[in-house]
Structure 1
Amino acid sequence: MMCKTFASSFSSFCTSIHFQKEIAFFSFQCERRPLDMLSSLLRQALPPRLHSRRSTASATTPSSSSASTPMLPKQPSHSTTPTPSIPHRRRRRRHRNTELPPIAPDATKAETLSAYAPHSEEGSEKNAGNPPAAKQTPSMHLIKARQLKYLSEIEPETLREMFYVGKSSSQWKEMKEYCLTIFESFNNMVAIFKVKDLGTSYLSSDCILRKEMLDVTYDLITELPSEIQRLILKSIVNCLLTDRRTSSTDSLRAYYILLLNPMFDSTQTFGIFAHLLRQVASLTDQEHHYLVHWIKELQSTEFKSIINRLNSFITWKMFPNRPQDLPHPSKCTWWVPSAVKVMALFNAANNLVRPHIVPFEDFYNNSLERCDLLSEYYKWQNVYSHGGFSFCQYPFILSIGAKRSILQRDSEQQMIVMARKSLVDNVQKRQLPDIGMLFLNLKVRRSNLVSDSLNEIASKQSELKKKLKVTFAGEPGLDMGGLTKEWFLLLIRQIFDPDYGMFTFDKKAGVYWFSSAPCTNYQEFRLVGVLMGLAVYNSIMLDIRFPACCYKKLLSPAVVPYNNPKMPVGVAQLTLQDLQLVHPDIANGLKELLEYEGDVQEDFGLTFQVSYTELGCVKTHPLKTNGENIFVTNSNRGGYVQLYVDWILNKSVYEMFKEFYHGFHSVCASNALIMLRPEEVEMLVCGCPTLDLNELKAVATYDGYTSLDVTIKYFWDVVLKFPLEFQKKLLLFTTGSDRVPIGGTADMTFKITKVDDTSLLPMSHTCFNQLVLPTYKNKKTLRAKLLTAIQNAEGFGLE
């Protein structure tokens, strides 16, 4: 009766979402009958011949499974004292002694019996005068060990044959027993999948699993009948209940095996998956360290599938289609934090590998953009007052759109605070409020763009966190965003001109880098930093082609040190791969030095110093103390290369980059920067690197036109055939910037307005991303007029 109760309760458990109640019931049953879960396996433990002997023996003496139970003394038959008995327990023992098939089909009867035969005859000689005792049955541990040994020696091809035989005959007995044995316990999982004959090249902390066998097993499990899959899930639950308190390297391997289980892709298994994630998340730091190093060995497809599974679980919990299917919120508050913490292990593993196993964008969960992100941000900032979990603690899961939203809303809050402060100051000074005090107003001349901009910014340092508005001297125009875009564009174009001397341009790398030539005024580098900060702060895209290491340095550290002006800033740990993106020729030369097979000292004659040209003169600089007298050899060339890279990317441009760093952070002084990767900062500054006008066509709206009008058809036929250079000029003409927002052109607004005067050239309102297009009668005229407009659009034509 108890078996039926157990089975029915567990069946309801597998179909129930309310995991908590079922856990308590299942734990109670397991405590009462912990060995009943093995009954299906024990029925295969002994050959049939041994069953009859065991049955005969059980009629006279207790079985070996109860040998350790204290036996009550026998009472004389004439005694009036009733003989105590345990009929229920005896019935259970007899039930376990029913006929069982052999462990392995290919095991002979003699081999099976010899395993349980006595090893000496001394016992029989000593008991020659005593009545014959019943033969002892084999121990359950020995049966289990033999069965595990057999299963652990199965090869992938044998398992596939077993599966196809079961599929063709609809007899799944062998596959069922194999799968249930695996997930019966953590020890079974490891015993079956562990590599045999390790040798001396493995450490105890290595994963050492038969990955091919594990992959084949999981591939076949997903194709088994649903009733067998439910039994497997039941076994997994039993493992999580009974083995959760164990702490060993083998237990870690079992957790690793379970994390790879594709059965957890189904939302119906998410309740069990949540408990697995909770146990993995609660492991110690040392155990997490092992897991991370095992995870980094996964193939990219498998790695990505697990990341997708975790993200699906988080989305399902955060935004359920049927909230009533979930447990009470108070009972599953730990579901999402556990999943995110496990995902952090995968993120750490991904960051250890170069190149990354998967792109960092694969960790993004775009559904989180629907959350109250500012609330998450403030919760993270005020951990002592709010406490608890916040997604901002794990920024790898937040998309660049979510981070941009946080940064923009944080910037808006700072703008409001600055505007309110200005208003209060004016009131205290008894001055009339002026709308201009709410903005950072810059008035510049086109003929003196850099100097005027530098002077305006230097005189208004306290107002940099206000909304930016630009006015060009001598030109009418109200800045609704278009003039600001033009100011950024013209200023960047002039500052980054190689003839201006602030930056050098490498044609092979296609990027700008800081000039190491001596400079008497570093304030212009601070201006460039302010420009980048204002662009991010005001959501403006810039065409600045810096290498990736520039943004690494810009986040080193991500927050300006407080009250410590002497602390180095903008210094990052950079490698030869970073130098490859700045000066590929120098990087290739250093790489050849590292790979040279001859005598480096004899053939190159290098010392620990670097030579460079300054104002036409060749100068040298020691890379270390007394470096000019230390030769580069085969043994120290690695250190030489690292010092060379550090000098070029850090030390030689330190003063310039320090001003650039402080300029950027004078505007973007926000803790939200801590959440950003260097690649994400680049995207915030420069926008999306790709331009697809087909996406722009899909989001275009029309005023006076429809998408079926002939002029509109002419327009899209012409611009889609433009080369990329002219497509960017069209984007610049219409929006004031040739850069695409982070979400791509699909996130832009683009409006085409009709005008009947065909003598006019196309016009634009860059503040509103609006193109005014006359109704030209043919495609040739439209193309000629449009090219004339976009190639002569600076200044007067932009509003």
Structure 2
Amino acid sequence: MATGRGSGQGWDLGRAVGPLLDPDSPSSRCFTLFAMVHHHLLQVVDDLEFYEECGTGGVFSLDEHRAIAAVCNSLVVRGLLAQGRGQKASLPRSKRLPDALRAAAALQAALHDRDARRSFAGADLWLAPLIAAGMRPEHLVEPAVLRALDAQTDAAAEVRDDVTALDPSSDSQPVSTPAAALAALVRIAPQCVPFEARVELLRALIRADRARLRLDLPPAEGGPFPVEFRVRRSHLREDGAGALLRLGESVKRRLSVQFVDAHGLPEAGIDMGGLQKEFLERFVAAVTDLRCGLFAQSGAAVFPSPLAGELEGGWPALEAAGVALGKALHEGVLLEVPLAPFFVRRLQGRAVPSEELHSLDADLYRSLLQLKTLDAATVDALDLDFTVESDHFGRKTCEELVPGGARVAVTAANRLQYIHCLAHWHLSRRLGPSAEVFTRGLKKVIPVAWLRLFTPAELNQLLGGGQSGRIDVDDLRRHTEYSGGYTERSSAVKAFWSCLEEMTAEERAAVLKFATSTSRPPLGGFQHLVPPFTIHKVASSASPLAIFGARDVDRLPTASTCTNTLKLPDFRRRSTLREKLLYAVQSGAGFDLS
């Protein structure tokens, strides 16, 4: 079973894992003990040992870990689906899930966490059992599955444990039907379901939520009225935070925003729904601006600053940022604000492994790895104790990692404890209050359980668009609307599509960002862009002989990003259109409000 990664054979073990689900089977008891011990071992094995030093020091090789992952994966998928079909592998008399299945689920999750940070298994391994079982993506969005998922989500919130929530003994919903089994699987082991199917599941959950609240119906047909408020552009962060936190139960309604200019005057224009998008984009950009101190940066990603609470209005602004992020997800608004992986795990209510310290402070992470390799005398010579020094705007404070930590020296015997305590302090204790405030705002719109369907990298794709960033011109054209007199047969429109097809990937991304404020397409294609991309005709004068070389339209294209609208003058020559469009895009000129 120790198959090389390049092989796609053998990842679904089928009935071979059946005996492991029998609680009276010796093989089941042996496997359960092995899975529990190995899961515990993985908590102290760092990524260097797992990937580079594998096969030595008691750590399995990568091929062996692939085999272990395949066993756990097949056992979890086949076991849960069998529960739903009421087959022999159904609930034992104790009405608890088989211990082997529970242990396999925990070990499977730990191995997938490694794979998500640095792939060693590949997607085929995780997907094979469910595909072999005949699951199709449309099964996930059936009403029965959505209802079961809601019920299990409520139960998990009570016991704070996805697996325990499935035990009838915990007063929750048993895995007694095929729909409940599929819902349980996507919660416990979402990596076993294709990413695209999970994206559609999230959208189905949001659609069901919106239908329940009648959010997409006009008031005349029983829908709720929009929530109206004003925001001064010069005080966007303060006004926006106050408005979002006052929404209360109305947070999921459409926001009817009135922007006020620098002179205190309401901006001209009629809000047809696009100003909600502009408000969310600009508010999130304002609060995540590193200069305001609410967020800090890790590489290209951001996370709430541990010092946010010490800033004036810091907690309300951070909570409002969580509301805005949840609102953007609920409305399908893309935000180019990548979140740090360790922060995403906090949002999801998951433990943050010590290895995530690398993305927060790479130098500290390397120092701690080095500490693991030093001899006892060198460790003693470092004169470390179980304390950590923190900086609060220039004021140094010393905090204990354990009770009485100032009197506990770091030795070769307890250095693993020190390493994990220090990583936990940086990733959880120090960041915890800020992350909790942000999450409190997010949960007002989106249940945290929905976010646990995705890895941190996948969630960032949901927020900001497809990871590849490749813009499919044909897909964009199929889902484009026209206004102002343009149709898909207009000569300027044909010239626009011709120019876009010939542009480089970078130029296409720049044009998309110019018109929509985001450079990447939504997951699943432009059918999910909200509002739809629109090309609007701008009346302009040109010589009747422009096509033969006379003076063409001199205006630049403009954009209303709040409505994803490109305002395109009626250029006569294709060369002029390309020149003017790229000039407008590269100079950032031409944004206005309709």
**Shorter-chain TM-score category?**
0.5 to 0.7
| Structure 2 residue 426 is the aligned partner of structure 1 residue 637 | no
- The alignment's TM-score, normalised by the length of structure 2, stands at 0.67
Give how far 1:674 is off. 5.1
* 8 Å CA contact 1:485, 1:540 repeated in 2: yes
The within-5 A match list for 1:85-234 is: none
Segment drifting more, 585-594 vs 470-479: 470-479
C-alpha distance 578-299 of structure 1, shift in aligned 2 (>3 A):
same
The within-5 A match list for 1:723-762 is: 727-743=508-524, 757=540, 758-762=553-557
Counterpart of 1:190? none
**Partner of residue 696 from structure 1, selected from 448, 466, 473:** 473
**Partner of residue 210 from structure 2, selected from 415, 426, 430:** 415
The within-5 A match list for 1:389-408 is: 389-390=178-179, 391-395=182-186, 396=190, 397-408=192-203
Give how far 1:772 is off. 4.3
Query: What is the alpha-carbon distance in structure 2 between the residues aligned to residue 520 and residue 764 of structure 1?
Result: 36
Query: What is the alpha-carbon distance in structure 2 between the residues aligned to residue 349 and residue 374 of structure 1?
Result: 31
* 8 Å CA contact 1:303, 1:357 repeated in 2: no
The within-5 A match list for 1:86-485 is: 286=29, 289=32, 299=63, 350-353=108-111, 354-355=114-115, 357-359=120-122, 363-364=126-127, 368-371=136-139, 372-382=141-151, 387-390=176-179, 391-395=182-186, 396=190, 397-419=192-214, 437-473=224-260, 474-480=266-272, 482-485=274-277
Query: What is the alpha-carbon distance in structure 2 between the residues aligned to residue 401 and residue 468 of structure 1?
Result: 29
Q: Secondary structure at the match of 1:531?
A: helix
* 8 Å CA contact 2:352, 2:428 repeated in 1: no
| Structure 2 residue 554 is the aligned partner of structure 1 residue 777 | no
- Per-residue CA deviations over 1:668-691 (Å, capped at 9, x if unaligned) read 136544544444433333332331
Cα RMSD, aligned residues only: 4.7
| Structure 2 residue 498 is the aligned partner of structure 1 residue 713 | yes
Amino acid of the structure 2 residue aligned with 1:488: L
C-alpha distance 418-746 of structure 1, shift in aligned 2 (>3 A):
closer
Counterpart of 2:302? 512
| Structure 2 residue 323 is the aligned partner of structure 1 residue 546 | no
Query: What is the alpha-carbon distance in structure 1 between the residues aligned to residue 18 and residue 384 of structure 2?
Result: 57
Give how far 1:493 is off. 1.9
Counterpart of 2:367? 589
Segment drifting more, 275-284 vs 519-528: 275-284
C-alpha distance 386-480 of structure 1, shift in aligned 2 (>3 A):
farther
Q: Secondary structure at the match of 1:533?
A: helix
Counterpart of 1:80? none
Counterpart of 2:158? none
* 8 Å CA contact 1:610, 1:620 repeated in 2: yes
Give how far 1:485 is off. 2.7
- The alignment's TM-score, normalised by the length of structure 1, stands at 0.52
* 8 Å CA contact 1:502, 1:514 repeated in 2: yes
C-alpha distance 504-766 of structure 1, shift in aligned 2 (>3 A):
closer
Query: What is the alpha-carbon distance in structure 2 between the residues aligned to residue 729 and residue 519 of structure 1?
Result: 35
Counterpart of 1:41? none
Q: Secondary structure at the match of 1:700?
A: helix
* 8 Å CA contact 1:292, 1:349 repeated in 2: yes
**Partner of residue 494 from structure 1, selected from 276, 282, 286:** 286
Query: What is the alpha-carbon distance in structure 2 between the residues aligned to residue 527 and residue 479 of structure 1?
Result: 22
Query: What is the alpha-carbon distance in structure 1 between the residues aligned to residue 429 and residue 504 of structure 2?
Result: 47
Query: What is the alpha-carbon distance in structure 1 between the residues aligned to residue 200 and residue 495 of structure 2?
Result: 39
- Per-residue CA deviations over 1:223-262 (Å, capped at 9, x if unaligned) read xxxxxxxxxxxxxxxxxxxxxxxxxxxxxxxxxxxx9779
**Partner of residue 330 from structure 2, selected from 509, 512, 537:** 537
Amino acid of the structure 2 residue aligned with 1:696: V
* 8 Å CA contact 2:496, 2:577 repeated in 1: no
Amino acid of the structure 2 residue aligned with 1:393: A
| Structure 2 residue 461 is the aligned partner of structure 1 residue 683 | yes
Gaps of 5+ in 2: 40-59, 92-97, 152-171, 261-265, 481-487, 541-552
Query: What is the alpha-carbon distance in structure 2 between the residues aligned to residue 653 and residue 345 of structure 1?
Result: 30
C-alpha distance 765-515 of structure 1, shift in aligned 2 (>3 A):
closer
| Structure 2 residue 582 is the aligned partner of structure 1 residue 786 | yes
| Structure 2 residue 440 is the aligned partner of structure 1 residue 662 | yes
* 8 Å CA contact 2:318, 2:434 repeated in 1: yes
**Partner of residue 614 from structure 1, selected from 387, 392, 401:** 392
Amino acid of the structure 1 residue aligned with 2:148: K
Query: What is the alpha-carbon distance in structure 1 between the residues aligned to residue 290 and residue 138 of structure 2?
Result: 45
Q: Secondary structure at the match of 1:470?
A: strand
Give how far 1:277 is off. 6.8
* 8 Å CA contact 1:551, 1:678 repeated in 2: yes
| Structure 2 residue 526 is the aligned partner of structure 1 residue 526 | no
Give the greater-gyration-radius structure (CA).
Answer: 1
Number of residue pairs the alignment of both structures matches: 485
Query: What is the alpha-carbon distance in structure 1 between the residues aligned to residue 69 and residue 107 of structure 2?
Result: 15
Amino acid of the structure 2 residue aligned with 1:713: S
Q: Secondary structure at the match of 1:667?
A: coil
- Per-residue CA deviations over 1:344-379 (Å, capped at 9, x if unaligned) read 998766544334542458635696322243321213
* 8 Å CA contact 1:711, 1:775 repeated in 2: no
Query: What is the alpha-carbon distance in structure 2 between the residues aligned to residue 471 and residue 385 of structure 1?
Result: 49
Q: Secondary structure at the match of 2:360?
A: coil
- Per-residue CA deviations over 1:154-181 (Å, capped at 9, x if unaligned) read xxxxxxxxxxxxxxxxxxxxxxxxxxxx
Counterpart of 1:624? 402
Give how far 1:665 is off. 0.8
Q: Secondary structure at the match of 1:438?
A: coil
* 8 Å CA contact 1:470, 1:479 repeated in 2: yes
Query: What is the alpha-carbon distance in structure 2 between the residues aligned to residue 700 and residue 752 of structure 1?
Result: 10
Query: What is the alpha-carbon distance in structure 2 between the residues aligned to residue 417 and residue 657 of structure 1?
Result: 30
- Per-residue CA deviations over 1:97-139 (Å, capped at 9, x if unaligned) read xxxxxxxxxxxxxxxxxxxxxxxxxxxxxxxxxxxxxxxxxxx
Gaps of 5+ in 1: 1-208, 220-258, 265-272, 319-331, 424-431, 558-571
C-alpha distance 627-347 of structure 1, shift in aligned 2 (>3 A):
closer
* 8 Å CA contact 1:735, 1:770 repeated in 2: yes
- Per-residue CA deviations over 1:284-336 (Å, capped at 9, x if unaligned) read 653653796999978499869979x98xx99xxx9xxxxxxxxxxxxx98699
Query: What is the alpha-carbon distance in structure 2 between the residues aligned to residue 335 and residue 357 of structure 1?
Result: 34
C-alpha distance 751-718 of structure 1, shift in aligned 2 (>3 A):
same
Query: What is the alpha-carbon distance in structure 2 between the residues aligned to residue 368 and residue 591 of structure 1?
Result: 44
